Chains A and B, each alone.
Chain A
Amino acid sequence: MLRYVTDKKQLLLQNPAVKMKFQAVTLKVRQRSSRCPLKIVESKAKYRLIDLPEEHYQKANKVVDIDGVFGEDGDRKEDNNEDIPEDYKRIKHSALAILQWVYGPPLSTAVSRVLATLLEKDVPFQIIPVDMSKGEHKKPDYLKIQPFGQVPAFQDESISLFESRSICRYVCEKYADKGNKGLYGTNPLEKASIDQWVEAEGQSFGPPSGALVFQLAFAPRMNIPQDQGAIKQNEEKLQKVLDIYERRLGESRFLAGDEFTFADLSHLPNGDYLVNATDKGHLFTSRENVGRWWNEISDRESWKKVVEMRKSS
């Protein structure tokens, strides 16, 4: 089990100007099999950097100074390796190569949207655990990088961001030439077509599907009573939305055209829970085109990897 951080110590800020310092004390690198040479670093580091000075929002070219240790030796326990499958090789890896940090658990739909995007773009990243059961996401340290107290948050060498879709847009822009180059389109017309379906996902698909996922998959686990009225209402809304998708996907293979794009990817998090963790999967599978589309997009290597990460967390 990937353990969430339980002991926290404030990162010692050595520089009054709050220069960013970070070092993961122990890193585990999982090297994928030869099918897909991605490096995913999952750190069992107990501490993380939070505080970014205001200038970082403005300036483009800050360099991360990665030295210095935080925490004390006695706090570090031996890492539990039982969750690493046999065919993965463990390699000690320098923290300097990891320039993307994602805060939050892979189980979160919004976090998984970011993870899938990073994987599609072949971008190495590190997940920084946020123990939500202990309210870590509402603590002042975390609120500095995500003022709404939600996951995910994201940092690289020069910027701190939140809101999963804007993190994904940033990653696609920053790494335009890496991995899946067409993920957010290669020209303004393609980008606009993708944008409209990303907005549709956020405004029309997301709310009812998210409500159903919460009521049917999460509420029971959290001992929250289900709201049958909300379930019925949101199922009806989602039916109407999926009718529109059925028509669209009869005209084109994917939402924005003939290629898989971020517009499709954005639907994976809620869709996956709906199909695999509730009894409402038939909403997808009973529709021929939506069913076909769902099978195709959920079969992406990047998404399968995210599902694997969820299982081991």
Chain B
Amino acid sequence: MAEIMKVHGSVISTATQRVLACLNEKELEFEFIPVNMAVGEHKKDSFLAINPFGQVPAFEQGDLKLFESRAITQYIAHGYAEKGTTLIIPGRPMATLSVWMEVEAHQFDPPMFGIPTDNAAVEENEAKLTKVLDVYEARLAQSKYLGGDIFTLADLHHLPNISCAMKTQVKKLFDSRPHVSAWVADITSRPAWSKVVAMGK
């Protein structure tokens, strides 16, 4: 694909960070277009034309317009499989990778996303997260990374929410599980991720 890739988003949005991490891992050139959410730019018609849900990120390449960070990362990872870090595993192992991408989206993300303000909600989220992380601990005891032997999208998709979590009381849930803890230390120290974090500063 010759046309330049454009990412519309916000450097502090976890979903936007997911896409930026992927582009950095792939060592790809792209144009970052900040969306000023404070003034409602994401609800304007020009933005809705790319993402009808009025959310960040949105992605463009030539005529192609995409939304939903996990659809965007998969498009990039498959389309540029030979560049930079291989974020997918070809063949049958792709199915297992896909399982853990869904796990991140449906089991991990919900209790992590958003900031509950009352204690009951915080406790409920922590209870859910505890169960999820028990499964992760067992998985990571058998497999170096979630999707298989190598770092893939299945791990990358977790980075934004994990980074946030490490700054809150939820950190203890990760630290108390040796395999999860080692995996977190590994993936959060990747240079591609550090670049994303630096953008937000």
Q: What 11 additional pairs, Cβ within 8 angstroms, besides A188-B79, A244-B52?
A: A57-B148, A148-B131, A148-B135, A161-B95, A188-B78, A192-B66, A196-B72, A199-B70, A200-B68, A203-B105, A247-B52
Q: Which of A58, A195, A204 contacts B53 (CB 8 A)?
A: A204
User: Are B66 and A193 in touch, CB under 8 angstroms?
Assistant: yes
Q: A161-B99, A166-B98, A166-B99 are in contact. Are A58 and B93 (CB under 8 A)?
A: yes
Bound together, the chains give a CA A198 to CA B143 distance in angstroms of 28
B92, CB-defined interface residue at 8 Å: yes
Q: Which of A147, A188, A189, A244 contacts B135 (CB 8 A)?
A: A147
User: Are A203 and B68 in touch, CB under 8 angstroms?
Assistant: yes
User: Are B66 and A248 in touch, CB under 8 angstroms?
Assistant: no
User: Are B71 and A195 in touch, CB under 8 angstroms?
Assistant: yes
Residues of A within 8 A of B78 (CB): 188, 191
CB distance from B192 to the nearest CB of A (A): 22
Bound together, the chains give a CA A189 to CA B76 distance in angstroms of 11
User: Are A170 and B98 in touch, CB under 8 angstroms?
Assistant: yes
A156-185 CB mask vs B (1 if < 8 Å, else 0) is: 001101110110011001000000000000
A190-216 CB mask vs B (1 if < 8 Å, else 0) is: 011101101110111001000000000
User: Are B74 and A200 in touch, CB under 8 angstroms?
Assistant: no
User: Are A199 and B98 in touch, CB under 8 angstroms?
Assistant: no
Seen from chain A, the residues whose Cβ lies within 8 Å of a Cβ on chain B are 54, 57-58, 60, 147-148, 158-159, 161-163, 165-166, 169-170, 173, 188-189, 191-193, 195-196, 198-200, 202-204, 207, 241, 244, 247-248
Count of A-B residue pairs with CB < 8 Å: 84
Q: A158-B92, A170-B98 are in contact. Are A195 and B75 (CB under 8 A)?
A: yes
Q: A58-B93, A58-B148, A189-B64 are in contact. Are A196 and B71 (CB under 8 A)?
A: yes
B91, CB-defined interface residue at 8 Å: yes
B98-139 CB mask vs A (1 if < 8 Å, else 0) is: 110111011100100000000000000000000110010011
Bound together, the chains give a CA A196 to CA B66 distance in angstroms of 7
Bound together, the chains give a CA A60 to CA B96 distance in angstroms of 12
Bound together, the chains give a CA A169 to CA B143 distance in angstroms of 22
Interface residues of B in 169-183 (CB under 8 A from A): none
CB distance from A167 to the nearest CB of B (A): 8
User: Are A163 and B106 in touch, CB under 8 angstroms?
Assistant: yes
Residues of B within 8 A of A162 (CB): 99
Residues of B within 8 A of A189 (CB): 64
